[in-house]
Amino acid sequence: MFFFDPKTKEGAVIDPGSQGYKILDFIEQHNIKIKYIINTHGHYDHIGADLFLKDKLGAEILVHKNDAEMLKDPMLNLSFYDDVSEIGGIVPDRLLEEGDIISVGSIELRVLHTPGHTPGSICLFSEREIFTGDTLFAGSVGRTDLPGGDMKQLKKSLENKIKTLPDHLVVYPGHGPSTTMNHEKEYNPYF
């Protein structure tokens, strides 16, 4: 997933899993200058193309400090256990914390630390949209039975952080269809 400011053509890639070439194609066709590769958390299906894209685009890799180790270690990011090539050795360029602002052209993305799916899970929101990674899905939430997962924390993240955001935000989860904050507040059983 990625977005860009149409005026300045600056953009950011969020959670490049395995779509490195596809993303690169689009970016090159549209002459977009990617400044950042942002990981909403450290699982392998969200970081798989980090190094490929960093190498091609020279962008910086950003992740919350609590998930930084997962980028280095195939055991921690779980690629070791799955039927994929191992992913590791990724050194983040900047470690994120609650309240950080990431500027992409005229767009400001704010970092919400929303632990639960992993200790360093984040959501990123602008005036119009929110990228929720594996914290919030349409009608559901991410699993918390993997190492570092914690359902109590995830519910707290929903209640104390995500729920306070405006209803009009379009929600782009890490998996599945997009939705709106309004719809989730009304129908998502985890709220």
Whether 13 and 1 have beta carbons less than 8 Å apart is answered as yes
The residue number whose beta carbon is nearest to Zn ion equals 43
Q: Which residue has the tokens 């500027």?
A: 103
Whether 107 and 39 have beta carbons less than 8 Å apart is answered as no
Q: Which residues are bridge partners to 64 per DSSP? A: 96
Q: Cα–Cα distances in Å, from 163 out to 24, 111, 152, 156, 168?
A: 34, 15, 15, 10, 12
CB of 6 to Zn ion, least distance (A): 28
CB of 108 to Zn ion, least distance (A): 25
- Rule CB under 5 A: is residue 15 a binding residue for Zn ion? no
- Candidates 60, 58, 160; CA nearest to 112 is 160
Window 125 to 154, contacts with Zn ion (CB under 5 A): 134
Residues 91-130 as x/- pattern, contact with Zn ion by CB under 5 A: ----------------------------------------
Q: Which is nearer to Zn ion, 10 or 134 (CB)?
A: 134
CB of 70 to Zn ion, least distance (A): 10
Joined tokens for residue 94: 């900047």
* Options 8, 26, 45, 52; binder of Zn ion; rule CB under 5 A: 45
Footprint of Zn ion (CB under 5 A): 43, 45, 134, 174
